[in-house]
């Protein structure tokens, strides 16, 4: 049985979030939670929150499921829309600032 959770429009670039997501890919749910709790990155907090949500979704679908048996089957980080801002530069010019966002999808499974 599979369950999933999505987190959209996270204010962190997809490349920074992928660094965190690749660290927990394939781990069981309790191991991934332990790893993420000890990571200092901003993306770790977002991934952890989404991982808890996916675990809760699995528990909702099947109340008899054992949480230790769940593992991360797929974790995907995609780019979201980029907010474009401008900052004043010298001699009347403008410098572009790109505020990037990302979408996170986690799929948990208890099947081998």
Q: Considering the chain, what is the average pLDDT of its residues?
A: 96
* Contact by Cβ (8 Å): 95, 89: yes
Confidence of residue 111 (pLDDT cuts 50, 70, 90): confident
Q: How many domains are there within the chain?
A: 1
Q: Give the C-alpha separation, 105 to 62, whole Å.
A: 20
Task: Check: pTM over 0.75? Answer yes or no.
Answer: yes
Contacts of 20 (CB under 8 A, 6+ apart): 36, 39, 41, 43, 44, 47
Token digits of residue 76:
């995907």
At 26, which CATH number? 3.90.470.10
pLDDT tens column, 20-67: 999 999 999 999 999 999 999 999 999 999 999 999 999 999 999 998
Q: Give the C-alpha separation, 97 to 88, whole Å.
A: 10
Q: What is the residue range of 28's domain?
A: 2-109
């Amino acid at each position: 049985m599979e369950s999933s959770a999505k987190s959209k429009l996270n204010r962190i670039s997809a490349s920074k979030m992928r660094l965190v997501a690749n660290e927990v890919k394939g781990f069981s749910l309790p191991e991934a939670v332990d790893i993420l709790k000890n990571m200092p990155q901003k993306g770790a907090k977002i991934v952890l929150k989404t991982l808890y949500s996916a675990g809760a979704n699995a528990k909702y679908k099947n109340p008899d499921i054992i949480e230790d048996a769940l593992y991360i089957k797929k974790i995907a980080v995609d780019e979201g829309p980029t907010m474009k801002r401008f900052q004043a530069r010298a001699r009347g010019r403008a410098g572009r600032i790109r505020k990037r966002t990302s979408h996170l999808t986690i799929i948990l499974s208890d099947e081998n």
